[in-house]
């Protein structure tokens, strides 16, 4: 089944360029002209990924990102570091600055899509899978599950859990987690890492797992038991 992509941008010619490139790559495309329309389209069509402009009137891309839990590729006319950091902190998976190459954008979309967990059914683990308690991730397939149920993680969340599962008895400081999780050559604040940790804990708590990551005060974080609460 073709991946469904929602394009959100207030400039029609930008949407057209992205639409043509994504359709040529075999993807289904939905479009929205602003943030409010994006939320409506998202609810009606359940896309696999959103290509989301940051700078839109009324309801901008960062507002949309706060409301939606789905992989996001941000677009922006500005190459300001604050936009990049804030966008990734609240859940974005990657970032492209206008003007952009359509081929590069499609390549980045494909990278994010490969990280998606299966949409239905139990996650299948390969020989390189890592596990602790009920938590399992497969770095080669970019899938994650808890107690057999697929988890929908952002690329950053996946990278953090992969670091923990690679060294399950180690304590990681924030700088180590930044290096493990961020493929982009950017600096992020301690608050950003803390935000991702909170998101991971919330996603596992929804599966009755309250012990996925432990805080070691004054030092950092370590992997917990990753088990369901009795």
Output 30 or 121, whichever has higher pLDDT. Answer: 30
* Position 186 confidence tier, pLDDT thresholds 50, 70, 90: low
Domains of the chain by residue range? 4-114, 130-223
Question: In the β-sheet with 28-32, what is the strand arrangement from edge to edge?
Answer: 28-32, 4-8, 49-53, 72-76, 94-97
Percentage of residues in the chain having pLDDT higher than 90: 49
Over the chain, what is the mean pLDDT? 85
d(CA 33, CA 7): 8
d(CA 62, CA 69): 12
* Position 121 confidence tier, pLDDT thresholds 50, 70, 90: very low
Is the pLDDT score of 15 beyond 90?
yes
User: CATH classification of 4-114 is 3.40.50.2300, yes or no?
Assistant: yes
Question: Which of 1.10.10.10, 3.10.180.10, 1.10.760.10, 3.30.980.10 would CATH assign to domain 130-223?
Answer: 1.10.10.10
Compute the residue count for the chain: 230
220-223/171-172 β-pairing: antiparallel
220-223/213-216 β-pairing: antiparallel
b/e 142-151 (16+ beta carbons within 10 angstroms → b): bbbbbeeebb
d(CA 130, CA 219): 24
CB atoms < 10 A from the CB of 83, how many? 20
How confident is the model at residue 119, as a pLDDT?
44
How confident is the model at residue 34, as a pLDDT?
93
31-82 per-position pLDDT tens digit: 999 999 999 999 999 999 999 998 887 788 888 888 887 889 999 887 665 5
Q: Is 141 helix (H, G, I), strand (E, B) or coil?
A: coil
28-32/49-53 β-pairing: unpaired
Predicted model pTM: 0.61
């Amino acid at each position: 089944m073709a991946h469904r992509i929602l394009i959100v941008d207030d400039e029609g010619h930008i949407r057209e360029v992205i639409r043509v490139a994504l359709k040529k790559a075999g993807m289904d495309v939905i479009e929205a002209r602003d943030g409010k329309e994006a939320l409506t389209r998202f609810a009606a069509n359940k896309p696999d990924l959103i290509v989301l402009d940051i700078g839109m009137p009324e309801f901008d891309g960062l507002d949309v990102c706060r409301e939606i839990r789905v992989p996001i590729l941000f677009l922006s006319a500005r190459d300001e570091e604050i936009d990049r950091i804030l966008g990734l902190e609240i859940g974005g998976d990657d970032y492209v600055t206008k003007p952009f190459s359509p081929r590069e954008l499609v390549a980045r979309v494909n990278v994010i899509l490969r990280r998606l967990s299966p949409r239905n059914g139990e996650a299948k683990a390969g020989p390189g899978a890592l596990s602790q308690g009920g938590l399992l991730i497969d770095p080669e397939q970019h899938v994650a599950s808890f107690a057999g149920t697929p988890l929908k993680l952002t690329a950053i969340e996946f990278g953090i859990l992969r670091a923990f599962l690679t060294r399950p008895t180690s304590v990681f400081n924030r700088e180590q987690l930044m290096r493990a999780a961020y493929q982009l050559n950017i600096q992020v604040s301690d608050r950003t890492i803390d935000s991702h940790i909170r998101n991971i804990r919330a996603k596992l708590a929804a599966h009755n797992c309250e012990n996925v990551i432990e805080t070691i005060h004054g030092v950092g974080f370590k992997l917990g038991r990753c088990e369901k609460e009795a």
